[in-house]
Chains A and B, each alone.
Chain A
Amino acid sequence: MDTGLSGFVKKLPLKPLTLLDINQISTDAYILSLPQTHDFLPGQVVAITLDASIAPRLYSLCSAPKDETMQILFSVKPDGLLTPMLAKCSKGDQLLVSAPFGAFLGDEQPAWFIASGTGVAPYRSMLRAGLTHNKKLIHGGRFAHNFYFQDEFATALKDNYIRCCSQESGDGMYHGRLTTWLQQQQQLPAHQMYYLCGSAEMVVEVRDILIGKGIAIERIMSEIYF
């Protein structure tokens, strides 16, 4: 298969890595485990493809640097090119993977982590790396099965883990969109960071809400899954 993009793919420093494991964790989402070849910072991404004729896509690492394997979380886009193929991979298959890169990085400052869909991936890496103090995670999804890693997050963050589910109601979940939850907050803490990660639609809408509620743009960091 040639998508016509093979020229630049060859120039990306992609290395073959053996898939150590693939786990379906939800109806539409999988975790890939890869050998930990490089040091990285929580929040960084890797470029991944299956062969040099397919343009690599970017994926946040959802594991922590101290973990034994390097993991990514991905959801399958039914009309997408790469994710349906990734979902069919098995342990032992070869993937082409870049070294980790990217600057959506967490630190010790107080922060709200806001995500839609698989946009929780970098926060899982940050939380597993110990960045749990003064952090609140607000995750928006359409269905209950979209709250990936919910047990892990609930244990690490307790009341500071908020699930906003727009299409279903359920125990302990806010029934509504995460943008509605944000709009309903009377006052947002001004002296902390706001991290936004996921679809462009979520990021631009949430950013407007935060700015409308008086949060300075210097305090808003966004990672868009384009």
Chain B
Amino acid sequence: MEKITLFGKTPEELKQVVGELGMKPFAAKQIAEWLYKNHARSFDEMTNISLKDRQRLNESCSIGLETFSNVQSSADGTKKYLFPTAKSRFIEAAYIPDDDRATLCVSSQVGCKMGCLFCMTGKQGFQSQLSAGEIVNQISSLPEREKLTNIVYMGMGEPFDNLENVMKSLELLTSEWGYAMSPRRITVSTIGMIPAMKHFLEKSECHLAVSMHTPFHEERKKLMPIENVYPIAEVIETLRAFDMGRQRRVSFEYIMFKGLNDSPKHVNEIARLLNGMRCRINLIRFHPIPDTPLESSDETVIQQFREALVKKGIRTTIRASRGQDIFAACGLLSTKALVKMQSPDF
């Protein structure tokens, strides 16, 4: 019989499991504490649970935490961790230490279906969804877990294409019974899947980052097929209609491609689209991927672009490139080499 995985379950779900095992309901709360507060990796560590119950747990359940199977370290301190997931698949998470912060970029899917032209993950196609436990495992099994100040869902996959598991992972991270992290330390990044984005805005208080990459519809269609069905202008309209409150942040990610999206015309159109919206833009250098016709904009152009946006009243930052030497930088995560031969539909 397959064992029940407990890591990733809510106290309600744990109550059901312990009930089925003939244990008292309060054991669910104890297990949740061991899993999410004390980071227990075995049932034997759960010393306030009776020996008999621990035996039952050992027989029928597994914790479900997975240690990383590889790590690469960059000269700049960034580390890229490879974690195993179900069905012998793999995902990557990037740990990015900075002066006073340490950010973990987590994956939400094995591969991705969205096929953005500039992205390594997109090139590997889609293999599977991550469960909430597999998402949070990237945090729980991280050697630097205690140093983490921020979590960003910007690794492999489109978080809103795995909405239920991503929402559950956010509940785990922000609930009192879970990791009790402030939602202000978590940012979820999307290419703009509007229906799922609305759900996230209503049900979570975490920050949102939207990948814009160009304000022009026809141009964005060529870079990001999602633009066909959820155009950036409608994404922005949806955000405008939503009351974000004062604390919650919306940012737009903008990868700078030479001669493609880095002109004054782009600045003007961005300013028109975002007119009066409380948000900021992160400009990102493009990290070339194999066989791409795209190139990163020159440094001076990136600086001028930032200044032009700032002049238009838009808070704009240039994101530092981190972990480029170990392919941990933005858009470079991929476990394609580890994907077993699949049978495609063509």
Q: Which candidate, B5-13, B66-74, B197-205, is the interface stretch facing chain A? A: B197-205
Q: Which candidate, A16-24, A126-134, A184-192, A211-219, is the interface stretch facing chain B? A: A211-219
Distance in Å from the Cβ of B91 to the closest Cβ of chain A? Answer: 17
Partner-A contacts on B (CB < 8 A): 112-115, 117, 122-123, 125-126, 161, 163-164, 167, 195-196, 198-199, 202-203, 217, 221-223, 225-229, 231, 291-294, 342-346
Contacting residue for B291 out of A58, A142, A177, A212, CB 8 A: A212
Contacting residue for B115 out of A4, A7, A146, A204, CB 8 A: A204
A198→B231 CA distance, assembly (Å): 19
3 closest A-B pairs (Cβ-Cβ)?
A140-B346, A116-B346, A226-B113
Distance in Å from the Cβ of A85 to the closest Cβ of chain B? Answer: 18
A5→B344 CA distance, assembly (Å): 29
* B229 contacts across to A, CB distance below 8 A: 45, 58, 101-103
A103 touches B203 (CB 8 A): no
Number of interface residues of A (CB under 8 A): 47
B345 touches A117 (CB 8 A): yes
A114→B52 CA distance, assembly (Å): 61
* A177 contacts across to B, CB distance below 8 A: 344, 346
A11 touches B198 (CB 8 A): yes
A32→B136 CA distance, assembly (Å): 41
With A7-B199, A103-B231, A222-B225 known to touch, is A203 a contact of B346 (CB < 8 Å)? Answer: no
A141→B344 CA distance, assembly (Å): 9
Question: Is A200 interfacial (CB-CB < 8 Å)?
Answer: yes
Partner-B contacts on A (CB < 8 A): 3-5, 7-9, 11-12, 45, 55-56, 58, 101-104, 116-117, 140-142, 146, 164, 166, 177-179, 198-204, 207-208, 211-212, 216-218, 220-224, 226
- A11's nearest neighbour on chain B, judged by CB, is B198
Supplied contacts A7-B199, A58-B229, A203-B115, 14 more A-B pairs, CB within 8 Å:
A5-B163, A103-B227, A116-B344, A117-B346, A140-B345, A164-B346, A199-B125, A200-B113, A201-B342, A202-B344, A204-B123, A211-B292, A220-B222, A224-B115
A157→B221 CA distance, assembly (Å): 27
B199 touches A8 (CB 8 A): yes
B114 touches A179 (CB 8 A): no
* A166 contacts across to B, CB distance below 8 A: 346
A55 touches B195 (CB 8 A): yes
A7→B196 CA distance, assembly (Å): 9
With A5-B164, A116-B344 known to touch, is A204 a contact of B125 (CB < 8 Å)? Answer: yes
Q: Can you list 22 A-B contacts (CB < 8 A)?
A: A5-B199, A9-B195, A11-B198, A55-B195, A116-B344, A146-B345, A179-B346, A200-B113, A201-B126, A202-B345, A207-B117, A211-B292, A216-B293, A217-B223, A217-B293, A217-B294, A218-B222, A220-B222, A223-B225, A223-B228, A224-B225, A226-B114
Residue from B115, B161, B293 having most chain A Cβ neighbours under 10 A: B115
A207→B225 CA distance, assembly (Å): 12
A9→B194 CA distance, assembly (Å): 11
B291 touches A201 (CB 8 A): no
Distance in Å from the Cβ of B258 to the closest Cβ of chain A? Answer: 13
A226→B193 CA distance, assembly (Å): 11
- A12's nearest neighbour on chain B, judged by CB, is B195
A199 touches B203 (CB 8 A): no
* A199 contacts across to B, CB distance below 8 A: 125, 344-346
* B125 contacts across to A, CB distance below 8 A: 199-201, 204
A103 touches B163 (CB 8 A): no
A87→B203 CA distance, assembly (Å): 33
A7→B221 CA distance, assembly (Å): 28
Distance in Å from the Cβ of B326 to the closest Cβ of chain A? Answer: 23
B291 touches A200 (CB 8 A): no
* A203 contacts across to B, CB distance below 8 A: 115, 225
* A141 contacts across to B, CB distance below 8 A: 345-346
* B195 contacts across to A, CB distance below 8 A: 8-9, 11-12, 55-56
B122 touches A204 (CB 8 A): yes
A8 touches B222 (CB 8 A): no
- B227's nearest neighbour on chain A, judged by CB, is A103
B113 touches A224 (CB 8 A): yes
A165→B208 CA distance, assembly (Å): 43
- A164's nearest neighbour on chain B, judged by CB, is B346
A7→B200 CA distance, assembly (Å): 10
A23→B114 CA distance, assembly (Å): 30
A220→B292 CA distance, assembly (Å): 14
- A221's nearest neighbour on chain B, judged by CB, is B221
- B345's nearest neighbour on chain A, judged by CB, is A117
A202→B344 CA distance, assembly (Å): 8
- B127's nearest neighbour on chain A, judged by CB, is A201
* B223 contacts across to A, CB distance below 8 A: 217
B217 touches A222 (CB 8 A): no
Contacting residue for B346 out of A4, A7, A178, A218, CB 8 A: A178
* B227 contacts across to A, CB distance below 8 A: 103
A164→B345 CA distance, assembly (Å): 11
A81→B231 CA distance, assembly (Å): 26
B114 touches A224 (CB 8 A): yes
Distance in Å from the Cβ of A52 to the closest Cβ of chain B? Answer: 12
A198 touches B346 (CB 8 A): yes
With A198-B345, A200-B114, A208-B291 known to touch, is A103 a contact of B199 (CB < 8 Å)? Answer: no
